[in-house]
Amino acid sequence: MEYVIHLLILIGIYGILGLSLNLVVGFTGLLSVTHAAFYGIGAYATAILLTTSGMNFFLAMFLGAIICGVLSLLIGLVLSKFKDDYYALGSFGFNIIVFSIFLNWQSLTRGPLGIPGIARPSIFGYSLSDNMPFLILTAVVLGLVYLLCRAITNSSFGRVLKAIREDEQAIQTFGYNTIYFKLTIFVIGAVLASLAGSLFASYITFIDPSTFTLNESIFILAIIILGGLANNRGAVLGAVVLILLPEVLRFVGFPSDIAAQMRQVIYGLILVLLMLYRPQGLLGEYKL
């Protein structure tokens, strides 16, 4: 039972990451491969604030979101110079830069040693040190993020995002200054990813740079490609499938160390098969 709760919490965290990346990749067509950087910034900001000042978790999460918002604005400004393949490559670069900062700015992040002893949240003096209450917190955040994403994508703003994805220059000729739309959604996506990072840091109570690599960004991308680009429910479904997949492998009899290695192979295989046979993913409304 404890393990099921653990998996559900992970699904919640990756669901938030999928939903937020889908705003950028699925709805706006910006092939960003730097989402783990924002996930990491949220996690590190929260971890550092919690371990150094002992402030309330929710305040740390909020401050982490602001820090991440500012940094993503700067990164988004640079990326707005690029298009298509160059955009993907540029975003790639930022993930590597942010990862190196986590690794090398040792006075702040303790580098490869990581940050241990991160406190679990407490609400009105009631600590969520058990996993069940933490799952409830994660589910609440996931639910709020889902509702927010749905509101954004159902608004006129969301319609403009899709038009940008389809033909940016054409939608410009109808009076839209698209750079503001792209920056806004990029920052919103990053801020939401930082919330997932805050939850993760406080859930595991230990973080180190290895969680926030380029591989992780590709994993989040795989979640939304599998679940379905430009579909909010698809992003959550993708998280469910990809988190549970290794468990299913174990269940059918693979030893767990092999299952863990098979995971990578199967993610890759799923991506290739999807591109071949169902490029819009399970619930998707858009083909890359």
Partner 1 sequence: MITLETKNLVKKFDGVHAVNHLSLSFEQCKITSVIGPNGSGKSTFINTLTGLHEIDGGSVFIGKHADITSIKPHEIGAYGMTRTFQEVRLFEQVTVLDNILVVLTERGVWGSLFENHTQYHLDQAEAVLKRVGLWEKRNELATGLSYGQRKLLEIARAISMPAEIFFFDEPFAGLFPEMIKVVVSVMQELRTKGKTVLLVEHNMDLIRQLSDYVFVLDSGKLLAEGTPDKVLSEKAVVEAYLGE
| 247 binds partner 1, rule: CB under 8 A | no
Tell me the window of 44-52, 114-122, 191-199, 279-287 that interacts with partner 1 (CB under 8 A): 279-287
Q: Which is nearer to partner 1, 87 or 181 (CB)?
A: 181
In 3-state terms, what secondary structure has residue 115?
strand
| Min dist. Cβ of residue 4 to partner 1 (A) | 38
Looking at residues 32 to 71 of the shown chain, list those that interact with partner 1 (rule: CB under 8 A): none
Q: Which is nearer to partner 1, 110 or 165 (CB)?
A: 165
Q: Which is nearer to partner 1, 107 or 169 (CB)?
A: 169
| 3 binds partner 1, rule: CB under 8 A | no
| 130 binds partner 1, rule: CB under 8 A | no
Looking at residues 214 to 233 of the shown chain, list those that interact with partner 1 (rule: CB under 8 A): 230
Which residue in 2, 54, 156, 257 binds partner 1 (CB under 8 A)? 156
Q: Which is nearer to partner 1, 53 or 155 (CB)?
A: 155
| Min dist. Cβ of residue 172 to partner 1 (A) | 4
Cα–Cα nearest to 44, from 149, 138, 139, 114: 114
Q: Using CA atoms, how far apart are residues 135 and 6, in angstroms rounded to an integer?
A: 8
| 287 binds partner 1, rule: CB under 8 A | yes
Which residue in 38, 94, 181, 200 binds partner 1 (CB under 8 A)? 181
- Are 219 and 242 contacting, i.e. CB atoms less than 8 angstroms apart? yes
Q: Using CA atoms, how far apart are residues 281 and 288, in angstroms rounded to an integer?
A: 10
Q: How many residues bind partner 1 (CB under 8 A)?
A: 29
Which residue in 6, 120, 150, 162 binds partner 1 (CB under 8 A)? 162
Q: Which is nearer to partner 1, 28 or 213 (CB)?
A: 28
> x/- string (CB under 8 A) for partner 1, residues 189-208?
--------------------
Q: Using CA atoms, how far apart are residues 128 and 111, in angstroms rounded to an integer?
A: 28
Residue-level length of the chain: 288
DSSP string, 145-180: HHHHHHHHHHSHHHHHHHHHHHHHHHHHTTT--HHH
- Are 220 and 17 contacting, i.e. CB atoms less than 8 angstroms apart? yes
- Are 152 and 188 contacting, i.e. CB atoms less than 8 angstroms apart? yes
- Own/partner long-range contacts of 81-90 (Cβ < 8 Å, ≥24 apart): 84/31, 87/30, 87/31, 87/32, 88/31, 88/32, 88/33
Token readout for 16 is 């938030």
| 155 binds partner 1, rule: CB under 8 A | yes
Which parts of the chain are beta strand (E)? 122-123, 126-127
Looking at residues 80 to 109 of the shown chain, list those that interact with partner 1 (rule: CB under 8 A): none
Interface residue list for partner 1 (CB under 8 A): 152, 154-157, 159-160, 162-163, 165-167, 169-178, 180-181, 184, 230, 285-287
